[in-house]
A and B are shown apart, each in its own frame.
Chain A
Amino acid sequence: MSRTTADEPALVEVRDLKRVFDVSKPWLNRVIERAPRQFLKAVDGVSFEIRKGETFALVGESGSGKSTVARMVVGLLPPTAGTVTIDGVSMNDAAAAEERQRLRRRIQMIFQDPYASLNPRWRVGRIIAEPIRAFRLVDGEAAIEARVGDLLTLVGLHPADRVKFPHEFSGGQRQRIAIARALASDAEFIVCDEPTSALDVSVQAQILNLMRDLQERLGLTYLFISHNLAVVRHMASRIGVMYLGRLVEVSEGKSLFSAPRHPYTRMLLDAVPDVAMVGKAREAVKGEIPNPIAPPSGCTFHPRCPLVFDRCRLESPPVIDGVACHAVQAGRVAAA
């Protein structure tokens, strides 16, 4: 989608977000084995903003911290440091608790696994109506029922489906139900955490199309988390690439694919098996993602990077002009 959103004000502002997990063994084991405490820096200083009406995607491989960012943005997980501000309201500041409760209605999340995101013991109607009831958006059972019916129709299901249980639906249909629930509170900002990675491709296409239709109709803003570059390319207006807890490149959607700047982005684009690549040879990618508990020094990508030089091993590169790479910043590489 090439709608210009550049003039829109930022709806979501993420500043220097950090999250550290304590992954130490239990106390007794540490004492016996004389092992030190261990910490995992899942997210290490991530900043970005999302403008109203756009789709901002975070893409990365496992361990990149993209899902952790998503959980911090919606407030499911408190950050270790840094701030998330949505429409001027802090998601972390205790002083803003009251405003935040009002803000909650406008933020929803769609999860990866549609088999786990719907309470298996609840009927679909009750699942979708829960946010309506919690925020007291509509009064009276008949009105709630009507609203649930409208939402089901909106996502391509039938109003009569509200009396069924989640297990009576296929994965794609469940994801539609999850979307209906997310929309039930008239949410404006929806965080989508790998919304189609558990689905088959033909169903994935249905859900992606639906999400784009809904965005157009309702003016939604998406934070779209995915490991699938092709899906991200299809959905996002702007894209952030994450590697080991850091944002290594932020770029307008199309230019990330036509002119990737960070060496990791280039490597990733080279690696993705793609239908367009039938019969073509490609360069092999080297190495695997290092253990995030003991990441490499300096730029965490340096052991795999073809452009590595001394500085990369010592200093972590700052994000300048949307890319965090010493080689690019020092002009050692011509923009592709």
Chain B
Amino acid sequence: MTTLHPQTSNPPGRLARIWDSDIAYSFRSSPVTVVATLLALLLVLAAVAAPLIAPYDPFDPASLDLSDGFSRPMVPNEITGKVFWLGSDAQGRDIFSAILYGSRVSLLVGAASVLFSLVIGVGLGLVAGYVGGRTEALIMRVADVQLSFPAILVALLVFGVARGLIPPALQEQMTLLVLVVAIGLSNWAQYARTVRGSTLVEKNKVYVDAARLIGLKAWPVMLKHVLPNVAGPVLVIATINLALAVIEEATLSFLGVGMPPTQPSLGTLIRFGQQYLFSGEWWILLFPSLVLVLLALSINLFGDWLRDALNPKLR
């Protein structure tokens, strides 16, 4: 028997292979995506490294000086002479530092809630698609009901219920966790639907039969065989949902049910800022809003590209 195998030229290095792959090429040839990704990375890095970058600690009330209040951007304060790059708010808090710390909170809540809804949604979607029958019907009808409510309403509901259940003393510390659960619970249905759809396709492929033939039970087949093959669309939704979750968190905080003023997120900052919109202190609102928009937009653009790149039909 002759040995037949594809011609193997000297394999290039791993990095070179990645650089040369179709996905990398599609990335390189889309300037919008490159800019958006760099911007998103910059914002995320800045948020992560906030303690190192921020000139002030906005969470430390002791460092605040009321006479620093309402400083204009880049203009030395009339009383103290301090310069705030993006101005300061009523309490004399540095807007730039507040934004850095605020996006840190926003991104943390966003990422954690995406992870939360992803785990729930993917798990339920897999079970629904693979098991089928009544289990599927039940899960998908719950998902339908969930999708017929605006996400923000579900989040408000969860938030309200949690408020009632958690003792007041713990509420402030628990806010972050409650937010994550509230936003996460309002978004799982999308994952469940997508994963169920892909699972229905994948489970009829014969490699799943091949796995069943050697006596594998349902769970190992789902986790080892089906899950890796439905991961693509999940990744896309997760990316786009990260932007949505950040906005949702901002909305909740703007409505006053989100992060407390002591740990302001971007939404909390925007809520404070809009009080001063018509009194001339525009910077307090403008800069946090701008950062929120840029963050959501850049993540969204990256997500859009990812969707197109992973969808062979569009190529």
Contact = CB atoms under 8 A, between A and B. Distances in A.
Direct contact between A and B in the complex (CB less than 8 angstroms)? yes
B3 A134 contact: no
Given A134-B214, A134-B215, A118 B207 contact: yes
B6 A173 contact: yes
B3 A109 contact: no
Contacts of B141: none
A120 B3 CA distance: 23
B213 A156 contact: no
A213 B6 CA distance: 22
Nearest to A116: B205
A61 interface: no
A301 to B, nearest CB: 31
Given A76-B212, A109-B213, A119 B229 contact: yes
B62 interface: no
Interface stretch (A5-13, A100-108, A231-239): A100-108
Contact of A76 (B5, B209, B216, B225): B209
Interface in B1-56: 1-6, 8
Contacts of B4: 156-157, 173
Interface in B198-253: 205-207, 209-216, 225, 228-229
Nearest to B225: A119
Nearest to A133: B214
A105 B214 CA distance: 7
Nearest to B208: A119
B210 A181 contact: yes
A76 to B, nearest CB: 6
Nearest to B3: A158
B213 A74 contact: yes
A109 B214 contact: no
A107 B214 CA distance: 9
A130 B6 contact: no
B3 A104 contact: no
Given A104-B214, A158-B5, A213-B1, A111 B225 contact: no
A76 B214 CA distance: 11
A156 B209 contact: no
Interface string A157-185: 11011001000111001000010010001
Nearest to A105: B214
A150 interface: no
B250 to A, nearest CB: 36
A161 B7 CA distance: 11
Nearest to B1: A156
A185 B215 contact: no
B2 A156 contact: yes
A135 interface: yes
Contacts of A113: 206
Interface residues of B, number: 21
A121 interface: yes
A131 interface: yes
A153 B3 contact: yes
A120 B231 CA distance: 12
A117 interface: yes
A121 B5 contact: no
Interface string A74-110: 1110000000000000000000000001001101110
B225 to A, nearest CB: 6
A319 B284 CA distance: 89
A192 B11 CA distance: 35
Nearest to A135: B214
Contacts of B8: 160
A289 to B, nearest CB: 24
Contact of B209 (A111, A181, A213): A111
A274 to B, nearest CB: 29
A185 B3 contact: no
Contact of A121 (B212, B214, B229): B229
Contacts of A213: 1
A108 B205 CA distance: 16
B3 A157 contact: yes
Contacts of A170: 6
Nearest to B229: A121
A106 B211 CA distance: 14
Contacts of B215: 101, 104, 134
A329 to B, nearest CB: 39
Nearest to A132: B214
Most buried by B among A108, A109, A116, A120: A116
Interface string A195-222: 0000000000000001001000000000
The 6 A-B residue pairs with the shortest CB-CB distance, nearest first, are A121-B228, A158-B5, A111-B206, A117-B206, A116-B205, A119-B207
8 contacts: A109-B213, A112-B206, A117-B205, A117-B207, A134-B215, A156-B1, A158-B5, A160-B8
Interface of A: 71, 74-76, 101, 104-105, 107-109, 111-113, 116-122, 130-131, 134-135, 153, 156-158, 160-161, 164, 168-170, 173, 178, 181, 185, 210, 213
Given A119-B228, A156-B3, A157-B3, 15 more contacts: A74-B213, A108-B213, A111-B210, A112-B206, A117-B205, A119-B207, A119-B211, A131-B214, A156-B1, A156-B4, A157-B4, A160-B5, A168-B6, A173-B5, A210-B1
